[in-house]
């Protein structure tokens, strides 16, 4: 919107935020510490379950009385000691609704996620590399680069702008400012979302030296570049790095200080504590720049928590299914335990920045697999719950939860004839829920969509997520909340 009407809208939005912040101050919060009544935000419980019988008047309402004080208390102040950014890859409102309806009921709440008191939406478009105009449907590399660096870029780019210039990430800046740092995912550590915090390459598939020479040769160490994603990950040296992707660590460096050595050997020579199981991770007692932790729990992506129930062209006529555990998950550490361990290792006087990703909500969505998708949203919920529990005890931690882009899954009327692939599930409510995947007729080929995505938060600085923002905004308010000097090397 432009002109007088646009200015009026912006002024109204600014005045609305001023009113909210003034209310927060009146209720005891300020910008330097707890107000005269103390920090009451940790005592505020935001319960979003429906109140009772959803067939009765008021039975489906989620608000328990006036929320003004609760919201004001949750704003607290704008500076934080720690920030935990939790990402559900490919997790927009339809994915959250699907998981809630199936696992917790239509009137239920997603633990952790639905309890975050402040929320908004952000725009996710990327850029066309050639025309520099908006690309309305982003991928995970461009979207992750946006929040990690504050810079829009093209699909496939990791930590570089539309012209290929490297952009510093929150994790890199936090480390330069003396903060502890962590990077946790259920995918390969080289995948786009974890990679954007530690690497700068022209193409997201440049996992190791082999792929880098083929797909983004100018980034290869042998050509004077910064190296593959894995080589840059090791050089970035986060205090805690947990995920999958062990296969790439078996590749051999072909240039630089570690020429002729595998990336696994390089990690060991760099002083990393390498752990390959949840039990080994449990035994780790410290993580720092002298002894950073590298936990890699699968050759590729970590297995999904729940087994597949792939949608089909005839899904509307097939019997409804109930999701089941994935036998292949086995002893794989769950995202909640990885999150809790990372927090335990990072917390301390320095403060920390931690990014956590439930990455296979997206991958199951691509596969038209609603059960796999919901199971990974359950993992997302559990990770947020762990982060929120810590934040409420710590009282100096900002927790932000969002997705990186919208996806294809849609809840449709059971029994309707729809294009695409469908599957019907038996829900907690005892009803039938049908999900449709309409961007491809082939499982594995479902595509992202271009909608804006929910973002929610709790703790100091949480008010910045409210209203409509852009995906680049978190870079700025996270580094501001932590009091980081963005120019510090």
State the catalytic residues: 140
Other C-beta atoms within 10 Å of 12: how many?
A: 10
What 3-state class would DSSP assign to 290? coil
Distances (CA, A) of 304 to 149, 314, 375, 419: 29, 25, 7, 27
Report the alpha-carbon distance of residue 225 to residue 248 in Å, rounded: 19
**Nearest partner of 158 among 122, 115, 107, 211, judged by Cα:** 211
Q: Which stretches does DSSP call E strand in 52-192?
A: 82-88, 118-123, 126-127, 134-135, 180-188
Collapsing DSSP states into helix, strand and coil, what is residue 479? helix
- Compute, in degrees rounded to 10, the torsion defined by CA atoms 64, 70, 72, 78: -130
Query: Tokens 């009803």, residue?
Result: 431
Burial of 244-270, coded b for 16+ CB within 10 Å and e otherwise, reads bbbebbebbbebeebeeeebbebbeee
Token pair listed for 168: 């510093």
Report the SS3 class of residue 357: strand
Q: How many CB atoms lie within 10 A of CB 27?
A: 19
Q: Smallest Cα–Cα separation from 346: which of 147, 178, 113?
A: 178
296's CB contacts (< 8 A; 6+ apart) are 189, 242, 243, 244, 245, 246, 249, 274, 275, 276
Q: Please check whether residue 165 is in contact with residue 226, taking contact to mean a CB–CB distance below 8 angstroms.
A: no
CB 306 within 8 A of CB 324: yes
DSSP 297-328: -SSSSPPPSB-----BTTGGGSPPB---B-TT
How far is 279 from 269, CA to CA, in rounded Å?
A: 23
**CB of 395 within 8 A of CB of 42?**
yes
């Amino acid at each position: 919107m432009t002109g007088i009407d646009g200015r009026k809208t912006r002024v109204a939005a600014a005045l609305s935020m001023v009113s909210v912040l003034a209310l927060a101050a009146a209720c005891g919060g300020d910008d330097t510490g707890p107000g005269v009544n103390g920090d009451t935000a940790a005592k505020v419980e935001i319960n979003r379950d429906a109140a009772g019988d959803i067939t009765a008047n008021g039975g489906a309402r989620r608000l328990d009385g006036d929320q003004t004080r609760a919201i004001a208390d949750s704003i607290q102040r704008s500076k934080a000691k720690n920030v935990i950014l939790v990402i559900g890859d490919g997790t927009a409102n339809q994915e959250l609704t699907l998981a809630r309806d199936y696992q917790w009921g239509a009137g239920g709440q997603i633990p952790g996620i639905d309890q975050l008191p402040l929320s908004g939406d952000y725009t996710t478009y990327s850029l066309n590399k050639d025309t520099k105009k908006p690309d309305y449907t982003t991928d995970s590399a461009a979207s992750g680069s946006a929040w990690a660096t504050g810079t829009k870029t093209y699909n496939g780019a990791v930590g570089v702008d539309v012209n290929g210039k490297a952009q510093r990430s929150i994790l890199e800046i936090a480390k330069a400012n003396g903060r502890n740092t962590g990077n946790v995912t259920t995918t390969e550590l080289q995948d786009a979302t974890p990679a954007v915090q530690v690497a700068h390459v022209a193409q997201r598939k440049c996992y190791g030296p082999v792929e880098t020479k083929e797909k983004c040769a100018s980034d290869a160490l042998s050509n004077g570049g910064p190296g593959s994603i894995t080589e840059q990950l090791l050089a970035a040296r986060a205090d805690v790095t947990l995920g999958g992707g062990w296969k790439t660590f078996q590749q051999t460096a072909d240039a630089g200080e570690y020429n002729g050595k595998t990336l696994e050997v390089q990690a060991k020579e760099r002083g990393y504590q390498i752990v390959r199981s949840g039990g080994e991770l449990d035994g780790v007692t410290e993580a720092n720049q002298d002894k950073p932790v590298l936990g890699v729990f699968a050759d590729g992506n970590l297995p999904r928590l729940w087994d597949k129930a792939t949608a089909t062209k005839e899904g509307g006529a097939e019997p409804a299914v109930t999701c089941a555990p994935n036998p292949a998950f086995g002893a794989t550490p769950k995202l909640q335990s990885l999150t809790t361990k990372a927090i335990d290792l990072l917390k301390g006087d320095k403060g920390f920045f931690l990014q956590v990703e439930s990455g296979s909500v997206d991958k199951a969505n691509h596969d038209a697999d609603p059960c796999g998708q919901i199971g990974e949203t359950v993992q997302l919920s559990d990770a947020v719950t762990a982060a929120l529990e810590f934040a409420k005890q710590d009282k100096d931690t900002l927790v932000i939860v969002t997705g990186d882009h919208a996806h294809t899954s849609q809840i449709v009327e059971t029994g309707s004839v729809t294009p695409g692939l469908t599957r019907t599930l038996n829900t907690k409510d005892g009803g039938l829920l049908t999900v449709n995947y309409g961007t491809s007729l082939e499982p594995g080929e479902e595509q992202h969509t271009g909608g804006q995505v929910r973002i929610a938060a709790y703790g100091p600085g949480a008010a910045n997520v409210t209203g409509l923002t852009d995906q680049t905004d978190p870079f700025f308010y996270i580094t501001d909340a932590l009091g980081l000097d963005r120019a510090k090397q």
